[in-house]
Amino acid sequence: THFGFQSVPEAEKSKHVEKVFSSVANRYDIMNDLMSLGLHRLWKTFTIQISGVGPGDRVLDVAGGTADLSLAFSRKVGSSGQVWLTDINHAMLARGRDRLIDNGFNGPVAQCDAEKLPFPSNWFDCVTVAFGLRNMTHKDQALAEMLRVLRPGGRLLVLEFSKVWGPLAPAYDFYSFKILPWMGQRVANDADSYRYLAESIRMHPSQDELKQLMEQVGLKRVDYFNMTGGVVCLHRGYKM
Ligand code: SAM
């Protein structure tokens, strides 16, 4: 399907994703800075601002990896709130948990699949998924789960790569298909994982396709914000 990932058959995809993130976990943060030229920090800062998360809120960070968002949210919610860091990958989650602890937060942390969240319905004020949806085998199922655990009035934020503005496309393709794998090889000795990254980005739904998918699943008042010419897009939807 056009919501899937072409080069890897669907049944293989989750195994492949597991391998990729176990292999990049060590160098994930430094590679993020390098490959996005530091921009991922701005994209995440914008996400946190738009989230409206404040003291006492309950936040779920799905596919939270090394905890960039969880850390920022933990600072916002204070001791009366809670931020759950979750990810399917043990190596990524272990790094995220260590970072939370190093910064004085205890978690909570849970290893789980976004397609089957171990949380009660109608619980969270805000659910986020940053650069994670792209890797999920059944995006509709994952979105439906995120919607289920939101309380009525709660919001879902999806930060993800998207379709770049036309005139930028040739430069962007060159960057992602030539420079990224080369950097991956030089810095992490792993060109394949970064080739996967570029391909998964290209296969991911466009701004309007993702908006439609979120609406189909039952999210309301869905809107989105392009950043860096559509390299990345933040989608927001509400549970009513
Ligand atoms: N959110 C973090 C960030 O923005 O830096 C990490 C993003 S990282 C590119 C993608 C993460 O998605 C990986 O840690 C991977 O293990 C996780 N992931 C992939 N498929 C998943 C699934 N089905 N359920 C939960 N997490 C998943």
87 CA to centre of ligand 1 in angstroms = 6
Residue type, 161: F
- Please state the domain extents for the chain: 10-238
Q: Which fold has domain 10-238?
A: Rossmann fold (3.40.50)
Report the nearest atom of ligand 1 relative to the CA of 115: 23
Question: Which amino acids bring their CB within 6 angstroms of ligand 1?
Answer: 17, 21, 63-66, 68, 87-89, 92, 113-115, 130-132, 135-136
| pTM, rounded to two decimals | 0.94
Q: Distance between the two ends of the chain, CA-based, in angstroms? A: 29
pLDDT tens string 93-127: 999 999 999 999 988 999 999 999 999 999 999 99
Q: What is the dihedral of CA 237, 145, 14, 158, to 10 degrees?
A: 20
Question: How far is ligand 1, taken at its centre, from the CA of residue 63, in Å?
Answer: 4
State pLDDT tens for residues 195-227: 888 899 988 899 999 999 999 999 999 999 999
ipTM of the complex: 0.99
Tell me how far the alpha carbon of residue 31 lies from the centroid of ligand 1, in angstroms: 15
Burial of 15 (0-12, 13-18, 19+ CB in 10 A): exposed
